[in-house]
Structure 1
C-alpha cells in the first residue's frame, strides 16, 4: 500500500490521543477504552484495527484513511489486545466488559445479600470475574503458569468469600440499611486480597521499567508494588458509587407500593442503578492514576539503580504500565 496523502506518518499512536498528564485527558482516554460497545465488535473488526495500527507503525497507510479513523482503530486495538504481550484478551476480562459485567454481578450481590448461600454464590462469581480481569490486565509480559494461576485464584476467592461471610454475620446485628453496605465492604476487602494474589508474580519478579522513550531498563518489584497499590485504590473507588448510592434508593423504593406489588422488579432496578453509576465511575476511577505510571530511580531496588546509573547517569525517573 502507498502512504496516505491525507494523514502524516508521525502521529504517536503508542500513546493515548489525549494528554495523560491531566485528569481530564485521562478521563477522555478511559471513556473510550471502557466503552461497552467495543465488546460487540467482531473478530474481523478487531483484526482490521490491529492491521491498521501495525501497518501505520511500519509507515504503511491505506489510501483515504483519516486521522479520526486511525485513532478509532488504535482504541479498538487497545480495547482488545494486551499492551505488553500483544495477545488478544479474553472478552470478559477486557475493560470494555467492566460496566455490563459489574452492573449485573454487583446488582445481584446487593439484591441477594440476606442468606448465606446467596452471599457465597455471588461473592464467588464476583471474585472469579475479578480474577479474570486481574489476570487479563496484569502488567508485564512474563508468563504465569497454570499452577501459579490456580493457587492465586483459590487463595483470593477463599479470602474474599470468608471476608464477605464474616461481615454478613456482623451485619445481622445492625439496621437493614447498614446491612445493604456489607457487599461493598466485602468487595473493598476482597480487592485488597484478590489483586495482589493474582499479580503475585509481579511482586516476586518485578515488572518491566523503561525510560521515557520506552527503552527497557530492567524489572522492578518496587514498581510492581506501586502499580498494584494504585490499581487496588482505583478498583475500590470504582465500586463505591454503584454500591453506596443504590442502597439508599432501594431502601426507599422497597417501602413503596410498586415494589411491594412487584418484588421481582427489585433485582432489575438495582442492576440498572448500579449500571448508571458504573458508566461514569469506571472510566473516572481508571483515570485517577496515569496508565504509564512513573517513579523516581532512587526508589528502585539498589542493584537496578546501580545498573541504570551506569548506563544512563542522568536518568531520574522510570516508567511502567501499572495494569488496570
Structure 2
C-alpha cells in the first residue's frame, strides 16, 4: 500500500522516476537492469503487452493500478532486437533504438582532437537508422515471400536477419558519425607524444578499424543465440516448461555478449601505430620517426 501511495501516475513511454534528478535517474537505470525480469514467462509478457495496449486505447479494465502499469511497461521493455516473428513496426522501432544508442557511443568514443559539427552528428544518426531499418525490413519481407523454405529454415533465417542489418548500419554509423575526421584528419604523435601533424590517412585507418570492430561485436550475440535456441527449443524439457525459454534465452545472450565485447575491442589497440612512409608527405617531413601513433577511438 505504501508503494502504491508513493507511485506517480502512469505515463506511457515515460520513466516512473524523476529524470531531472540524479537519484531519479539512478533509480530508473537500476529498475531497467532488474534481474527478476529474466524470469518473466511468455504468458506474463503477453499479459503486460495487452495491458499496455488496453491503456493506450482507453479500454483498461477497472481496478488496474499505476504500479501494475509501470511494472507492465518495465517487463515489455525487456523485449528487443532478438525476438522472433517481429512485425515491420517493431523491427523499425528496435533498429531505431539500437542505432540511436550506437550513434551516442560512436560520438562519445571518437577521436576528439578535431571538433565535430552538429550537422555531421545528425547525418550519421539519420544514415545509420535509415540503413538498418531498410535492410532489416527488406530481408524480413524477402523471407516471408520465400514459400519454398521449410518453416524451421525460415525461422532460423528470420532470427539471423538482425545481424546483417545491425552490422551494415554499424559501419554506416561509424563512417558518418566520424566523417569529419576524414575531411579534417586526426593528430598523429611521435615517440615523445608530441603532435607531428594531422593525417587524413591515419583517420581512414582509425575509422576502418573501428568499423570492423563494430561488425565483430554483434556477431556472436546475433548468430549464436538463434542457433543455440533453435536447438534448445526442441528439447522435451523446454517444450513442457515454456516459461523457462525467456530466462534461458537471456542467459545465452548474456554469455555471448560477455564474450564478444572484450574480443571485439581487443582486436586493435586504441593507440594504434602506422609507418610514416604510408602517410602524407608533409607528415614525413615533420618528423624523423619511422612510426607514429594515433588514437583509433573505441
TM bucket normalised to smaller: 0.5 to 0.7
CA shift for structure 1 position 160: 1.8
Q: Would the alpha carbon gap of residues 296 and 106 (structure 1) be closer, same or farther in structure 2, given more than 3 Å must change?
A: farther
- Secondary structure (helix, strand or coil) at the match of 1:249 reads helix
The Cα offsets for residues 215-256 of structure 1, whole Å up to 9 and x where unpaired, read as: 001111111111111111122112111111111221123334
Once the two structures are superposed, residues 22-64 of structure 1 have per-residue CA deviations (whole angstroms, 9 ceiling, x without a partner) of xxxxxxxxxxxxxxxxxxxxx9xxxxxxxxxxxxxxxxxxxxx
Structure-2 residue corresponding to 1:132:
104
Q: 1:315 and 1:105 mapped to 2: Cα distance?
A: 53
Paired residues of 1:140 and 1:321 also in contact (CA < 8 A): no
For each residue in 1:134-188, what CA deviation from the matched residue of structure 2 results, as whole angstroms up to 9, or x when unmatched? 1010013222222321222112211221121122222332421122111111111
Residue in structure 2 matched with residue 188 of structure 1 by the alignment: 167
> Deviation at 1:262?
6.0
- CA shift, 1:263, in A, is 5.1
Structure 1 contact 160–187 (Cα < 8 Å) conserved: yes
1:297 correspondence with 2:276: yes
1:287 paired residue among 266, 272, 283: 266
Aligned pair in 2 of structure 1 residues 111, 209: CA closer, same or farther (>3 Å)?
A: same
Q: CA deviation at 1:258?
A: 5.8
Instruction: State the TM-score, normalizing by the size of structure 1.
Output: 0.61
Cα offsets for 1:186-227 (capped at 9, x unmatched): 111112211101111111111111112210011111111111
Counting only pairs closer than 5 Å after superposition, residues 218-257 of structure 1 correspond to structure 2 as: 218-256=197-235
The answer on whether the counterparts of 2:220 and 2:256 sit within 8 Å (CA) in structure 1 is yes
Gap change, CA 1:262 and 1:246, over 3 Å in 2: same
Task: Give SS of 1:319's match.
Answer: strand
Distance 2:142 2:132 in 1: 16
Cα shift at 1:276 = 0.8
Runs of at least 5 residues in structure 2 that lack an aligned partner in the other structure: 1-21, 27-34, 36-75
8 Å Cα contact 1:292/1:320 also seen in 2: yes
Q: Which protein is bigger by CA-based radius of gyration?
A: 2
TM-score, L = length of structure 2: 0.66
Structure-1 residue corresponding to 2:293: 319
Deviation at residue 109 of structure 1 after TM alignment = 0.8
Q: Note the 1:20-169 alignment, pairs <5 A.
A: 108-169=80-141
Structure 2 Cα separation of the partners of residues 186 and 229 of structure 1: 18
* Cα distance change, pair 112–128 in 1 and its aligned pair in 2 (3 A): farther
Q: Does 1:178 align with 2:157?
A: yes
**RMSD between aligned alpha carbons?**
2.7
Which sits farther off after the overlay, 112-121 or 207-216? Answer: 112-121
Q: Distance in 1 between matches of 2:118 and 2:127?
A: 14
Residue 92 of structure 2 contacts residue 133 of structure 2 at CA under 8 Å; is this kept in 1?
yes
**Would you say 1:210 and 2:184 are equivalent positions?**
no
Residues 1:105 and 1:226: Cα distance change in structure 2 (over 3 Å): farther
Relative to structure 1, is the Cα distance of residues 264 and 278 closer, same or farther in structure 2, using a 3 angstrom cutoff? same
Distance in 2 of aligned mates of 1:203 and 1:140: 13
CA distance in 2, matches of 1:121, 1:257: 34
